[in-house]
Amino acid sequence: MSGYFKELFSGTKSLAVGLGITFRYMVKPVVTLQYPHESLQMTPRFRGHIELIPNEETGEPNCVVCGMCQKACPSNCISLAGEKVDGVKGKVLTKYILNFTTCSLCGMCVESCKFNAITFSKEYNLAGPSREAYVFDLKKRLEDKKQ
């Protein structure tokens, strides 16, 4: 009979402890997100793939097609092109491709740009079915963002 009461006591105690933990966490602030409906706010120093910075007034890329980022990249991830346009000083960016499959996020491209034209994005949840999905047309991405 004493074994029965011992078991009853131990079961009740364990239930009380379990419920205590449950109630404690019920009133604590939530630390999880309803992904993918909610996204994390990345820290200022987070490095996602690079992206073009638009001009505040025109919305066009700040890039002047100097090619310094392309030269600085140790992994040959960047290929870009520009053209002369009547009435515009310097060149206008026509293509900026990033091959993210070989990018090490070293930051040499961002550091080498003297025109505030590229930065690290806050992109953290990339997914794709093939390597080609990670070759990004950054100019198109910037245009898509505007819409």
d(CA 132, CA 111): 26
Q: Which is nearer to ligand SF4, 7 or 111 (CB)?
A: 111
Phi then psi for residue 61, to 5 deg, are -60, 145
Does the CA dihedral 53-56-60-64 come out positive or negative?
A: negative
Segment near ligand SF4 (CB under 6 A); pick from 3-11, 33-41, 102-110, 130-138: 102-110
Select from 6-14, 17-25, 37-45, 100-108 the region that touches ligand SF4 (CB under 6 A): 100-108
For residue 140, give the nearest of 103, 73, 78, 93 by alpha carbon: 93
Specify the residue, 11 or 74, whose C-beta has the smaller distance to ligand SF4: 74
The answer to whether the CB of 116 falls within 8 A of the CB of 66 is: no
Using CB under 6 A, which of 42, 92, 97, 108 touches ligand SF4?
A: 108
- What track of x and - describes contact with ligand SF4 for positions 4 through 43 (by CB under 6 A)? ----------------------------------------
